Amino acid sequence: MVSHEFRNPLTTIALGTSTLINFLARLPPEKIQQKLQQIMNQVARLEQMLDDLLLVMRAEQGYLEFHPTPTELPTFVSQTVAELREQNHPIHVHLGTDPGPLLLDQDLLRHILQNLLSNAIKYSPAGSPVRLEVLTTGQVVTLRVEDQGMGIPPGDQERLFTAYFRASNVGSISGTGLGLKIVKDCVNVHGGTIRVQSALGQGTTFLVELPLRIAAPSTP
């Protein structure tokens, strides 16, 4: 499955490059720009897949480290969601009470949010809203990602966080099967938990709970 996911962008890059080499003099500028953009998009896709593979390998070897820094959670969440909104899919965000700066590993937290939201978008009908709720209660930060997509078969849910596993009903939707494994690893390094609630045809909700660590106020 992973080799197939790598082969697709490589094929697109090869075809686009061949077209430019053989027909550059005859192509209008807008067509050249289109081909170059396609190549750049596929290079970015390959880079993301390689990053995912390396992260999973580091986690499996015990090398995935926790580097917390003071993080303004509302600002961080808003910036991460803004990047995903470029996919033109509605994302509704609810931010609870701002607890102030928290000690979080921003790289790992970005992986958690991007993978959960990207999955929710990927497996949802076009235009159906994805919801993200961020709450701090007691000693826990809760991230709740909800979609109205196809749902996950009950028999598949226990294996969702296994590397390379994909649900049996995804059909032709592309994917490496690494996203939820990465989320699980990043949550574990934070000392948190993740669980899923899903029903076929009714959507899926992922609940991430991370320990609430208040950052010490900076000294002047």
Q: May I ask the CATH class of domain 69-211?
A: alpha beta
Under the banding of pLDDT at 50, 70 and 90, the label for residue 55 is confident
**Domain spanning 2-60, CATH architecture:** Orthogonal Bundle (1.10)
* Residues 164-198: b if buried by 16+ CB within 10 A, e if exposed: ebbbeeeeeeebbbbbbbbbbbbbbebebebeeeb
Is residue 146 within 8 A of residue 120, CB to CB? The reply is: yes
pLDDT tens track for 26-35: 899 999 999 9
Contacts of 162 (CB under 8 A, 6+ apart): 181
Of residues 51 and 193, more confidence is placed in 193
DSSP-derived 3-state class of residue 204: strand
pLDDT score of 132: 97
Q: Hey, do 2-60 and 69-211 end up sharing a CATH topology, with the first three levels equal? A: no
Model pTM score: 0.81
**What does the domain layout of the chain look like in residue ranges?**
2-60, 69-211
In this predicted model, what pLDDT tens digit does every residue of 126-174 receive, in sequence order?
A: 888 899 999 998 899 999 999 999 999 999 999 999 988 889 898 778 7
Instruction: At 205, list the tokens.
Output: 């909700």
